Every structure is written in structure tokens, then in C-alpha cells.
């Protein structure tokens, strides 16, 4: 028993890991403030779902497109140096946003530019962050350290939105919000006067919290000493061109029938559910109370559900209805059925309860799918395969969000939820009847 607890005690006594952990948790928590504040700010300024879609696309698409380049940069240079630079950039961008917001000088084109730059910066910070931990803790402590980081990350997904929504609501001008709602969309779209933006002080404080978190995490990262790790793969990666390495990974995933089928299926999920959710959540919060606090509650419920689902996956790792593939299809059907009635709810707790259930189902699959990919892909291809997997959700979802924002000029929120859920059921049925997904197994190759 002492031997089992020794790894945990070992890396928890490591000053390097503690410095990194402190900064990472602070930064991840701060990110949730911007994820709540930014869409709320855009809706307050424009009351236009297409504008919100554009901002989300500018934030997400560059991040996805440049992520592979970011990985190549991290492989060639020190990931700590890359991470430090991105933290300084994000600190400056958020500080500028706070000043512009508080001085009523902010315009939509400025938000577009800031979102674009934040997306580009994140394209480099994500691969840098995922490359840091093996260079900070000893190899025998890596699995335990990874488990702790992932668990705490999910906790920030739960607590962060609740804290952000509560802060914005606490400091917000609710009278202004009510007046803006009564004035109608036409007046707001015509003027977009910053002095009439509801929750301006609360939004500025939310962005400041994220700004501080980046600055603080840069300071903690400066105290981290990197382990000297040199591998043959790193030497090879520095010699191989980015284009040839990327194409090799794409060919491998495409030639694997099961991998290709799953990636196409998950692309449909990202397009039909993940993208519309980015638009639907702020709109639902407006419908249920026109409060950032409601948005925080909804996002926090989804984060709590995801954490619960991951915990269930750890306690019941072999719980399946037949194969892994059939379990995936069943869970996605349940998600679709839960998704469809969300436009009909009238109180916040109902939306929170549904999102809690959706998050739990998705969190359970999250662990199973990641484990399957790790077993399905050769180690030499794993990094590129995971980059493609991340691109599916970070690249397709923002495009879907932008399209959803445009469609919301002609659709109601009820139609959006019902239509997306119904289309997901159709995709599940097609996958069940016409694809090999149901043959997926937890270990080994199905084909």
C-alpha cells in the first residue's frame, strides 16, 4: 500500500510540478471567465446571432488550422518558451479588451481582431501545454500527474462558469439589461452604444480575472525547471517537413477503415451538436432570464456532468451495451433525445438538469474514445492522430457555430434544438445500418 501511494507523494512533493500545477489551474479557471463573458458581450453589443457566430469562428478556426504548425514549433523549440510567449500575448490582449470596454471605446471590429489573435495564440499554447508535463515530472509519476491535471481541469469547467456568471450578474446593470430588451433588436443593431451595454462592469471584471490568470501563470511558469529530454523522435521531427508529416498522419487515419469511419462520424457530431451549442447556450440563457448568471449555471452544469461521467468511466470502465461502438451509438441517441426539448424549457434548473445529463453521457464517452484511439493508433502516429481528432471539434464546431448564427435569423431556438437533435438521430441510424462502428471493441482492431 505504501508503494502504491509513493508515486502520488513523489510528484506532489516536486516543486516543479507544484509551480506548474498552480499556474495551470489558475489559467484554466480564468479561461472559463472569458468563455462566458465573450459571447455575452457580443450579444449585448449586437443582439445578432450571426455576429456571435463570426466571433466564435474567429476564435476557433485559426486555433484549429494552426495547431499542427504550433506543434511543429514546440517540437523544434522549448515548449516552456512558447508557452511563456503565448501567456504574455494573451495577458496583453485581455488587458486591452478591459481598457476598451471600461472606456466605452470598444467596437465589434476590435472584438473580431482580439478573438482572431487569441485563437492564433491558443494554437501554439495547446501543443506547448500538452508537451510540458513529461518535461516536468519523472516518467514514473507521469500517469498520476496526468490524472490529477485532467480531473482538476474538469473541476474548473464546473466552477469557472458558475463563478464567471455570478460575478457578471453581481456587478451588472440589470436595469440597463431590461431597457435594452424592451427597446428591441432594431435599435440595438443600429446603435450598439457601449454606454448602453448591460453588465459592462461585470464583463470587464470577468476579462480582468482571465487577464490576471495569464499573468500569474506566466510568473509561476518562470519558476519551473524543465527536464532535459532528448529522443530520436524529436531529432527526426526536426528534420521532417511539417507538410510531409501531416500528410503521413492523414493517410494513416484514412486508410484505417474504422478510424476513418469514426472520424467522419465525430465530424457530424461536432457539426450538428457542438457548433449549435455554442450559439444556443447564450440564447437559452437570454430566454431563461437574460442573465450571465444563468449562462454560467448552464455551462457549469454541463461541466459538472462531464466530470461525473469521467468518474463513472473510472469506476465502471467495462460498462458496455454490447460493443464499444454500440454503446457510443446508444449514448449519442440519448444525447439527441435530451437535446431536442431544450428549446421548450422555461426555468433555468430544467436546462441545468438536462445539460448535467448530457455532460455525464459525453464525459463517459470521452474517456472511452481517448483510450480507444491510444490503442488503435501506433505510438509513432498518435500525436498526429490526436491532432486530427482535436481539429474535428476545434475546427468544424466554429464553422458550424457561424452557420448556426446565420440560420438563427430564420429559426427559433426551439427549432434549432429540435432540428439538431433529429439530425443527430438520423446520423446515428445511418452509422448503425451502414457503417462498421457497431463493431468497435475496446481492445485491439475491429477490422
CB atoms within 10 A of CB 190: 8
- Give the distance between the most distant pair of CA atoms in the chain: 68
Cell of 46: 449586437
> CA 399, CA 201: separation in Å to the nearest integer?
31
Cα of 4 vs its chain's centroid, Å: 33
Which residue in 179, 283, 231, 299 sits closest to 75, CA to CA?
A: 231
Which residue in 259, 252, 233, 251 sits closest to 373, CA to CA?
A: 259
> CA 377, CA 371: separation in Å to the nearest integer?
10
Tell me whether domains 14-224 and 240-440 share a fold.
yes
> CA 303, CA 160: separation in Å to the nearest integer?
9
Cell of 139: 516518467
pLDDT at 228: 62
CB-CB contact of 284 with 339 (8 Å): no
DSSP 302-355: HHHHHHHHHHHHHHSTT--SSSHHHHHHHHHHHHHHHHGGGGG--SHHHHHHHH
DSSP 392-443: IIIIIHHHHHHHHHHHTTT--HHHHHHHHHHHHHHHHHHHHHHSSGGG--SS
Q: Phi and psi of 231, rounded to 5°?
A: -125, 160
Q: For residue range 241-298, list pLDDT tens digits in order.
A: 666 766 777 787 888 888 888 889 988 888 888 888 888 888 888 888 767 778 888 8
Q: Phi and psi of 342, rounded to 5°?
A: -65, -30
Place of cell 426539448: 341
Cα of 10 vs its chain's centroid, Å: 31
In this prediction, the residues of the chain whose per-residue pLDDT falls under 70 are: 1-12, 68, 71-72, 75-76, 130-131, 134, 139-147, 150, 172-198, 227-243, 245-246, 290, 314, 371, 374, 379-384, 386-387, 443-447
CB-CB contact of 85 with 423 (8 Å): no
Considering the four listed CATH numbers 2.30.30.40, 1.10.10.60, 3.40.50.1370, 1.20.1250.20, the one that applies to the domain covering 240-440 is 1.20.1250.20
pLDDT at 190: 39
Cell of 177: 439589461
Cell of 294: 444563468
pLDDT at 407: 86
CB atoms within 10 A of CB 445: 12
Domain ranges for the chain, please list them: 14-224, 240-440
Whole-number Cα distances in Å, 216 to 32, 50, 107, 156, 265 = 16, 34, 28, 17, 40
CATH architecture, domain 14-224: Up-down Bundle (1.20)
Place of cell 451595454: 197
Amino acid at each position: 500500500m505504501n508503494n502504491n501511494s509513493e508515486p502520488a507523494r513523489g510528484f506532489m512533493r516536486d516543486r516543479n510540478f507544484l509551480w506548474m500545477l498552480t499556474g495551470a489551474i489558475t489559467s484554466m479557471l480564468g479561461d472559463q471567465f472569458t468563455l462566458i463573458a465573450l459571447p455575452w458581450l457580443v450579444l449585448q453589443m449586437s443582439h445578432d446571432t450571426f455576429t456571435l457566430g463570426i466571433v466564435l469562428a474567429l476564435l476557433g478556426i485559426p486555433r484549429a488550422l494552426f495547431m499542427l504548425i504550433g506543434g511543429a514549433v514546440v517540437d523544434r523549440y522549448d515548449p516552456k518558451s512558447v508557452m511563456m510567449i503565448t501567456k504574455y500575448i494573451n495577458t496583453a490582449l485581455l488587458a486591452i479588451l478591459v481598457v476598451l470596454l471600461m472606456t466605452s471605446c470598444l467596437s465589434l471590429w476590435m472584438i473580431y481582431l482580439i478573438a482572431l489573435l487569441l485563437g492564433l495564440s491558443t494554437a501554439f499554447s495547446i501543443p506547448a501545454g500538452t508537451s510540458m508535463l513529461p518535461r516536468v515530472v519523472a516518467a514514473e509519476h507521469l500517469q498520476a500527474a496526468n490524472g490529477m491535471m485532467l480531473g482538476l481541469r474538469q473541476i474548473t469547467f464546473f466552477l469557472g462558469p458558475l463563478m464567471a456568471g455570478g460575478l457578471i450578474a453581481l456587478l451588472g446593470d440589470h436595469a440597463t439589461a431590461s431597457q435594452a430588451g424592451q427597446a428591441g433588436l432594431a435599435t440595438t443593431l443600429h446603435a450598439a452604444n457601449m454606454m448602453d451595454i448591460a453588465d459592462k462592469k461585470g464583463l470587464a471584471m470577468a476579462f480582468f480575472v482571465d487577464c490576471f490568470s495569464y499573468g500569474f501563470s506566466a510568473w509561476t511558469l518562470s519558476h519551473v525547471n524543465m527536464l532535459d529530454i532528448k529522443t530520436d523522435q524529436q531529432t527526426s521531427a526536426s528534420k521532417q517537413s511539417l507538410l510531409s508529416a501531416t500528410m503521413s498522419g492523414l493517410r494513416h487515419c484514412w486508410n484505417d477503415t474504422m478510424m476513418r469511419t469514426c472520424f467522419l462520424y465525430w465530424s457530424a457530431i461536432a457539426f450538428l451538436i457542438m457548433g449549435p451549442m455554442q450559439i444556443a447556450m447564450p440564447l437559452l440563457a437570454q430566454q431563461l432570464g437574460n442573465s450571465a448568471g444563468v449562462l454560467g449555471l448552464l455551462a457549469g452544469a454541463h461541466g459538472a456532468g462531464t466530470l461525473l461521467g469521467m468518474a463513472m468511466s473510472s469506476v465502471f470502465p467495462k460498462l458496455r451495451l454490447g460493443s464499444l461502438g454500440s454503446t457510443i451509438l446508444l449514448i449519442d441517441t440519448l444525447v439527441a433525445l435530451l437535446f431536442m426539448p431544450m428549446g421548450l424549457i422555461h426555468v433555468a434548473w430544467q436546462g441545468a438538469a438536462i445539460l448535467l445529463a448530457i455532460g455525464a453521457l459525453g464525459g463517459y464517452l470521452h474517456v472511452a474514445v481517448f483510450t480507444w484511439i491510444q490503442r488503435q493508433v501506433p505510438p509513432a502516429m498518435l500525436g498526429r492522430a490526436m491532432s486530427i481528432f482535436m481539429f474535428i471539434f476545434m475546427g468544424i464546431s466554429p464553422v458550424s457555430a457561424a452557420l448556426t448564427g446565420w440560420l438563427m435569423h430564420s429559426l427559433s431556438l426551439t427549432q434549432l434544438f429540435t432540428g439538431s437533435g433529429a439530425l443527430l438521430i438520423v446520423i446515428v441510424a445511418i452509422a448503425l445500418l451502414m457503417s462498421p462502428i457497431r463493431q468497435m471493441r475496446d481492445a485491439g482492431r475491429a477490422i
